[in-house]
């Protein structure tokens, strides 16, 4: 399977997931995207089309600590950061959108860290 086929397969999985997942004001959507170099997480209210909270591996405190290496430790840091910011905004429960990525490795560690910091999904 070449790169384009992998990308298209992920896009198909993502579209299939998004048909089922909707973020509401009571239970917004935790969306995860990973590139080869960075990791992004957002909590989104789909009904209003607003991003409520975001965190990524590009933030200064994480870049200084991990030096642009994206691995499981960075994913845990991003997950705990998004969980803390969500709790500060009063968000306790979310719907997890893995973005078509397999629930494995960095995506799984981000989700586990978000759960440890108090988010329910």
CATH number (domain holding residue 98): 3.30.420.100
| Per-residue pLDDT at 68 | 65
Q: Is the pLDDT score of 4 beyond 90? A: yes
Provide the residue range defining the domain that includes 43.
24-116
Return the pLDDT at 108: 97
pLDDT at 84 over 90: yes
Helices 106-116 and 72-89, packing angle to 10 deg: 40
User: Band of the pLDDT at 98, cuts 50, 70, 90?
Assistant: very high
- pLDDT for position 87: 96
Helix (H) or strand (E) holding 39: strand 39-45
Residue 28 resides in a domain? yes
**64 in a domain, yes or no?**
yes
Task: Tell me the average pLDDT across 17-41.
Answer: 92
Number of domains into which the chain is organized: 1
Give the whole-angstrom CA distance, residue 30 versus residue 21. Answer: 10
Task: Classify residue 47: in a domain, yes or no.
Answer: yes
pLDDT digits (tens, 9 = 90+) for 51-69: 999 999 999 989 888 886 7
Would 71 be classed as within a structural domain? yes
């Amino acid at each position: 399977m070449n790169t384009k086929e992998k990308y298209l397969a992920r896009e198909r999985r993502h579209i299939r997931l998004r048909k089922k997942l909707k973020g509401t004001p009571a239970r917004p959507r935790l969306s995860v995207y990973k590139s080869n170099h960075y990791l992004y997480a957002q909590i989104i209210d789909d009904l209003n089309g607003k991003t409520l909270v975001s965190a990524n591996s590009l933030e200064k405190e994480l870049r200084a600590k991990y030096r642009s290496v994206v691995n499981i430790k960075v994913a845990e840091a991003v997950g705990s950061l998004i969980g803390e910011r969500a709790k500060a905004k009063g968000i306790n429960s979310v719907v997890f959108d893995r973005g078509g990525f397999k629930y494995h490795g960095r995506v799984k560690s981000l989700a586990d860290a978000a759960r440890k910091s108090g988010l329910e999904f």
